[in-house]
């Protein structure tokens, strides 16, 4: 299987660079998608090696960071083009995609192999608190309060709240990686048998960086074909922004989280799915708010009501499912079901 992905990458990447000049959008859409899948397999293997060397938290953080770098880059391009609403939509899509699709698929696939999968319940609750903090407090407040103030005030409020978010994202990292590293570990956190990583930490990081860069490039190309594909299939722009871009933009998280869950390394899978969501909400979103003012295309921290509601209900469902430190195929399916319902909603909106 690794051999297949190897050749898919060897053929797919140059083809993705050159092919766009000659072939139709719909055809290239398929080429891009397959190449991203193959590249994502490498990202998954690199993450796995790193997680063995660095532990699940740092490994998950690295995976989330490389994965979200793609979204950050795409969003900056979109901001420069003045597509503020598209940026907020694709960030929403990234949040619900990570929470429901990435977590759901990994719980489901892992659950098909194992009756019950357990993970560190303290980590899950730490994530729950941050999700509520970021989405329920920091995203809801400007939404509600902005309805009664001027646009100028909304911008000031957005920047102030963005600063709070980034400061607390930094504090959360200090908490988990410095002051309370290992304090909340529980038996069964580490794999029973000492595994040897496939690649060294250095090699894995380099491969992670290179494949992420390739995914970023191809994702960007792919985004450009979406308009044509959408027209061909009759999909709305919102549906593309929230559902399609998010699925593709989170390919790296998908591949890694599902692979980890399949190997019953649920702490890494959770870290990727929830940690990536938290990084989007507490780091990427506020950073983009700052950048939007530097670029001169101001973006307020104000989502639309459907976007906000979609994020809120996703968070409550994920917290309900992960709160006991135990998952199974049905809990994974339930998250996927919620994703389908949200996709139906955005499809018709």
What are the residues binding its own copies (CB under 8 A)? 115-116, 121-122, 125, 128-130, 132-133, 136-138, 140-142, 144-145, 148-149, 153, 156-157, 160-161, 164, 167-168, 171-172, 175, 179-180, 183-184, 305-306, 309-310, 313-314, 316-317, 319-321, 323-324, 326, 328-331, 333-334, 337-338, 340-342, 344-346, 348-349
CB of 332 to its own copies, least distance (A): 11
Least separation in angstroms between CB 4 and its own copies: 31
| Residue placing its CB nearer to its own copies in the complex, 262 or 316 | 316
Report the distance separating Cα 22 and Cα 27, nearest Å: 10
For the CA atoms of 84, 342, 260, 44, the dihedral, rounded to the nearest 10 degrees, stands at -40
Q: 78 or 96, CB closer to its own copies?
A: 96
Give the nearer residue to its own copies in terms of CB position, either 269 or 343.
Answer: 343
- Choose between 73 and 164: whose C-beta lies nearer to its own copies: 164
Q: Which is nearer to its own copies, 10 or 112 (CB)?
A: 112
Give the nearer residue to its own copies in terms of CB position, either 42 or 133. 133
CA atoms within 13 Å, Cβ hemisphere of 323? 10
Residue 18 or 163 with smaller CB distance to its own copies = 163
CB of 39 to its own copies, least distance (A): 32
Nearest approach, Cβ of 171 to its own copies (angstroms)? 6
Min dist. Cβ of residue 17 to its own copies (A): 39
Least spacing, CB of residue 41 vs its own copies, in Å: 29
What is the spatial distance between Cα 317 and Cα 103, in angstroms, rounded to a whole number? 11
Terminal-residue alpha carbon distance, the chain: 40
Nearer to its own copies, 210 or 312 (CB): 312
Rounded to whole angstroms, the Cα distance separating 233 from 98 reads: 25
Measured from the CB of residue 47, what is the shortest distance to its own copies in angstroms?
25
């Amino acid at each position: 299987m690794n051999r297949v992905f190897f050749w898919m990458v060897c053929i797919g990447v140059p083809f993705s660079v050159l092919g766009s000049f000659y072939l139709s959008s719909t055809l290239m859409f398929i080429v891009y998608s397959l190449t991203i899948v193959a590249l994502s397999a490498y990202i998954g293997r690199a993450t796995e090696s790193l997680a063995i060397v660095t532990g699940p938290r740092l490994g998950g953080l690295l995976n989330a960071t490389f994965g979200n770098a793609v979204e950050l880059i795409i969003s900056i391009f979109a901001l420069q083009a003045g597509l503020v609403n598209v940026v907020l939509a694709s960030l929403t899509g990234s949040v619900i995609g990570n929470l429901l699709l990435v977590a759901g698929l990994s719980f489901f696939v892992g659950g098909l192999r194992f009756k019950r999968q357990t993970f560190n319940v303290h980590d899950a609750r730490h994530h729950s608190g941050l999700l509520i903090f970021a989405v329920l407090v920091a995203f809801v407040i400007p939404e509600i309060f902005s309805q009664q103030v001027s646009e100028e005030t909304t911008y000031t409020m957005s920047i102030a709240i963005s600063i709070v978010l980034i400061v607390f994202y930094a504090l959360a990292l200090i908490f988990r990686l410095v002051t309370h590293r290992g304090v909340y570990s529980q038996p069964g956190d580490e794999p029973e048998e000492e595994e040897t990583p496939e690649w060294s930490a250095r090699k894995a990081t380099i491969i992670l960086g290179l494949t992420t860069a390739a995914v970023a490039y191809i994702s960007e190309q792919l985004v450009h074909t979406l308009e044509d594909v959408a027209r061909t299939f009759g999909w709305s722009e919102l549906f593309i922004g929230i559902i399609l871009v998010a699925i593709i933009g989170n390919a790296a998280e998908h591949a890694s989280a599902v692979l980890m869950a399949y190997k019953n390394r649920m702490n890494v899978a959770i870290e990727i799915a929830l940690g990536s969501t938290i990084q989007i909400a507490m780091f990427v979103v506020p950073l983009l708010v700052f950048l939007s003012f530097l670029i001169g295309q101001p973006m307020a921290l104000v989502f639309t009501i459907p976007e906000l509601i979609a994020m809120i209900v996703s968070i409550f469902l994920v917290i309900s499912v992960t709160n006991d430190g135990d998952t199974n195929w049905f809990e994974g399916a339930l998250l996927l079901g919620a994703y389908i319902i949200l996709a139906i909603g955005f499809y018709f909106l």
